[in-house]
Structure 1
């Protein structure tokens, strides 16, 4: 039976928890993060729990949660008891699916210094480890506080407690050669992680890297060179048995694909807790976008003063655009009848056929998907097909 709506919990239901603090803010980071310093985080932890309860009052009738994702920031700075408390509360309020995926983002140094059994005891069953590189010079450039040897040890240690784990790497760094990236990526793949997230370096305006680029001190890699490295990435990962199942994500099997991220890409519902967290919810047949206040103090105050949710209903057209842009990212593709259900018309068929003829897309019935060549143009294709 097909879902009644072209979006919503029938496509997945997850919980995202944003922990905004980091011991060190990386020069490329464009996320809502703050220096950890020596803080009393009890008020924030209480606010997260109160916010979860507030969502539960509004979201009666939702299915059990299929995933919880602790992101940030650096949520591995949270105490295991704080993580466990939120997991227990989520289970009590919503229920957890028997195979619910519970991910914790962690930096290598935190993995090396943590009680991993305590994380597992708190309910975590998947680690996302922010390696970013296995080259010491690159790690210095990226502002990381670990070295390559520590990164390798962290992955080896994590694998003993969390067979389902993933590592992040950043490539297309200024001056990075194809040979150097192939060597680094091959070494990362040899660590045996069943999932990799591989991102090209983005120079965002408000970051330290962005300011350096404005002053001419940092030159981003040219687009054509980035494209060459992207194609090399796909070939090397596939050779090692981790083909891309999404533009930037690779998994050894369907079971090790990110269940939480698939909820985003498929147009499911998710609760966003924490400063600056985004959510997407289905309320009275509408797609509603939520955005929490950015500053931790403002977030805590807002949760304490507001009983309901501050959400903005998305128009059918905006919903269709978002579903299409996200739905084209995974290899499984996107059912274009979902756009027609929202807007009364499918994506422009002439434009779609042109992309198919050029080898950037393929179509099976009503489902469209990007080819490996098309993934390089994912944003452009989604924009041109959008209603």
Structure 2
């Protein structure tokens, strides 16, 4: 793979998402499809299954040009480089995969080794996304992370050295976190010469250990006003450093936006492969929503029996697609492509609802072609989308 990434064309694109479901430990805030296995995972068996399901997804999609690949999890950096290489080779055999497309892999600092990182790079990975989450050891421990700050910074340095592009995640609005602490931490993060940051507010998800602790008053999050102020600070600090938000929680220097995630938000197509992966694939005038079995070993058995682990393959109605496009498009700073939305919905947006939301400073027009949320609108994005879609 060339080091230089192809430029963003602004088109939705076609992505391939691979879900590696295994983690060394389950974080107490996480509701992703991730599983801890105390026995060695048979990576060879999973590679065979991934390649089988990949072939079925290719049958659904037909011939396409891949514009990005994302290997998420779980903790993909627990994979051997040979495993990544086999999966990327499989994609290139089934679809057209030009040199220079973005190929991202998630990694946890605790599972980072220089030799392994170089192996991933040799396999074709050209962007790594590190799950740093905090830059102080107290909060890393609270978040159940297996790494400390020293591990995180070592991983950041290695990633900068080996990969053309690198991003890392931070979680804010943590219990007891002050505005000054967050400003210092954010400035420190930006100082590590990254060109992309994903910055998420801590949320309490049902079914996680944090949910019970929160219900019992053992975890107290900032109140909504304080959380909104932390969000505003996030926008101010990143903007000042030339890394504005291009999506609700994602910040980048111009040109360093995640191409794969832009495919989601621009409502492009993507094949989702692996346990618990979701996809959206268009074919012959239909758009299919796909989902696979979440439990890894059950998925593995299903693929062995029938060639795939899909539990859902639903043809979406046009109004369902329009609702999804609205929800995704308004997350973006570039906004919603109104002509594309209207063509899909078979109508325009309700002018009275739109005018009301613009009047109240929640939406704004970008010429006649796009509609986007203001910063105030982003704070109540779900409500804005619900109002427009009604």
TM range, smaller chain: over 0.9
Structure 1 residues 11, 367: CA separation in 2 closer, same or farther (over 3 Å shift)?
same
Which residue of structure 1 aligns with residue 251 of structure 2? 250
1:347 is aligned to 2:356: no
1:305 counterpart residue number = 305
Distance 1:358 1:260 in 2: 33
Is contact 2:267–2:328 with CA below 8 Å preserved after alignment? yes
Partner of 2:4: none
Q: Structure 1 CA distance, aligned partners of 2:352 and 2:86?
A: 53
**Separation in structure 1 between the aligned mates of residue 154 and residue 46 of structure 2, nearest angstrom:** 32
Q: Deviations over 1:192-250 (max 9, x none)?
A: 11100000001001001011112222122211111000000011111112111111101
Structure 1 residues 107-144: Cα deviation after superposition (integer angstroms, max 9, x where no partner): 11222454321110011000000100001111010000
**How far is the alpha carbon of 1:284 from its aligned partner?**
2.2
CA contact (8 A) 2:53 2:307 kept: no
Q: Give how far 1:374 is off.
A: 1.9
- Cross-structure match for 2:259: 259
Q: 1:107 to 1:329 in 2, by over 3 A?
A: same
8 Å contact kept, 1:20–1:33: yes
Contact 1:55–1:271 under 8 Å retained in 2: yes
Q: Report the counterpart of residue 181 of structure 1 in structure 2.
A: 182
1:140-162 Cα offsets, whole Å, 9 max, x none, are: 10000111122112111110111
CA distance in 1, matches of 2:204, 2:114: 31
Cα deviation, residue 340, structure 1: 2.7
Aligned twin of 2:284: 284
Identify the range of structure 1 (358-367 vs 111-120) with the bigger mean alpha-carbon deviation: 111-120
Give the whole-Å Cα distance in 1 for the aligned partners of 2:350 and 2:177: 39
Distance 1:257 1:263 in 2: 11
Over 3 Å counting, the alpha-carbon distance change for 1:283 and 1:239 in structure 2 is same
Query: What 5-or-longer segments of structure 2 have no aligned partner?
Result: 1-9
Q: TM-score, normalised by structure 1?
A: 0.94
Alignment of 1:140-289 (within 5 A): 140-254=141-255, 256-289=256-289
TM value normalised by structure 2: 0.93
1:65 counterpart SS class: coil
SS in 2 for 1:115: helix
Distance across 1 between alignment mates of 2:116 and 2:340: 45
Mapping of residues 14-93 of structure 1, within 5 Å: 14-39=15-40, 40-62=42-64, 64-93=65-94
- Please give the per-residue CA displacement for 1:318-346, whole angstroms capped at 9, x wherever unaligned: 11111100011111111223333233322
| 1:204 match: secondary structure | coil
Separation of aligned partners in 2, 1:22 and 1:61 = 33
Say if 2:289 and 2:314, in contact at 8 Å, map to a contact too.
Answer: yes
Detail structure 1 runs of 4+ shifted over 6 Å in the superposition.
Answer: none
Q: Is the 8 A contact 2:349 2:388 kept in 1?
A: yes
Cα deviation 1:312-369 (Å, max 9, x = unaligned): 1112121111110001111111122333323332222111112212222211203101
Partner SS state of residue 261, structure 2: helix
Structure 1 Cα separation of the partners of residues 248 and 46 of structure 2: 34
Q: Secondary structure at the match of 1:184?
A: helix
